[in-house]
Structure 1
């Protein structure tokens, strides 16, 4: 993603003289990220730059029309560069689907698709071709039995995905067989009940010893309680590698889990994704581009010297930042010697 955003930044710089509203678009990461997200969303919904131009031409609002035309030019240029010079996963899926229309690569094969919650438009296009070619396509959907979830159900999106795939199969004259496998492992009855009745509201009135609920005053106390229970399970014969800890939002526990688990000597690994844009190197690259291609601003200068990639130590970084803020350095002054009094005395 960082590479794509750098490419978007270069595209903006290259065509800025031809833009109306975004001629002075900043290279700030949030603006580049917005463009990247917008492009991905358009690809998913099969909205092309030509579509944007058509809508813009028919819009009574001049501002809205100019905005769409600018977006169309930016994204069309970006797409052309991406296809000709780089590899793009979304575009590759579309090209693969088109290739399969004339090449029967998956004939007499059995394909398994497991663990997907939903699919994008290019993925559906690829699945359509797989259904046409493969001898058998097996797809898994973890849904409650004998129930059609409504929009408030956590299973609604998954059900809609299954329904869409089923419709694709029917249009391709591919027979659909619904198979509901039985549990293949020993599961406590209370956990099985939750699995099968999560959205029904039914009450479990039998042995619920496999489920424990507790309240904590804060996340630190919560993690300590989890750690104590893990230690207790291991003392009873469980293995660390068989224990999993799930969180709705892992970012809320950042800086808490690892120290607490280390304190209890619990070996652990964390499977959390970190946005590339939060990496100091990204701040360094984007801030450098901002300083080079635009009028240098304080926020870009601050991000640059705080990135850790300038060779400036923490104390010097603080002093330089204080100097820039004290004397309100801007523009070309960043490239001149800092000779004024660091405390602001004239």
Structure 2
């Protein structure tokens, strides 16, 4: 199957990529309350677009699509003004309600696919991802790669906590049997073939960093150093980071459910040992000493039960959301 996928991609490239017919690339940028940085981001991307067009690396029909994920500030007004100023280059998609970064990104990618792009490059609006490596993305695409991952070469600018927690997440994710690309966020190029394959995934609980590596096809990596935000505040505080990690793990692995079984077995074993301890204490005439062990047992078993219920509840909740088949997002306006 892998060979067939690659050959299909190579055929696509041979038909669309040439000096006279450079690829039609769409830049997809999800935004949520990014009024402080959006104009600067648009200017930087426009300059990069002009450079790539002059080098015939991309088609003049390439576009930049901003996806407004239910912003409460002036983000959509800015997108609208950008579109009015250059309708050919800037497009916009406004979701009717905040649906989260992953759904907003997916909406933009599907719009790019619908508009007939040859490939789409996704990136965050804060410009922490190095726009300078876009040319390398396209070079890999022209050579036949269907997916090109932007991977951080180092985490020197991260705090100790953020760096350590990220390493733990990737190790846990890998241990649970899910495939991911360490130190890769959502800065990537996906060809039309890859986007069509992505459109076949129907789950509501999206975790693109896990889904995209599962697609197969021919992939490559481009390394870069992540910079600081140009302006505005991070949209991923600790609470959202933890929720995002839980979303990823529970969407791609059932091993936490196996942990429930293991925890239950440990609880039964500890309970049996405590029973033996109580009997020995009784015959030795030291039954009063059992108060502390009894309390420890109650709290430990109670903790295991609550933890197990929580893990099972995560999966039941996901099943509940999936079986209703609600749409991932609703588009209010499309420019």
- TM-score above 0.5, yes or no: no
Greater Rg over alpha carbons, structure: 1
Give the shorter-chain TM-score range. Answer: under 0.3
Q: TM-score w.r.t. structure 2 length?
A: 0.22
Bigger relative CO (Cα 8 Å, ≥ 6 apart):
2
Report the structure, 1 or 2, having the larger strand content.
2
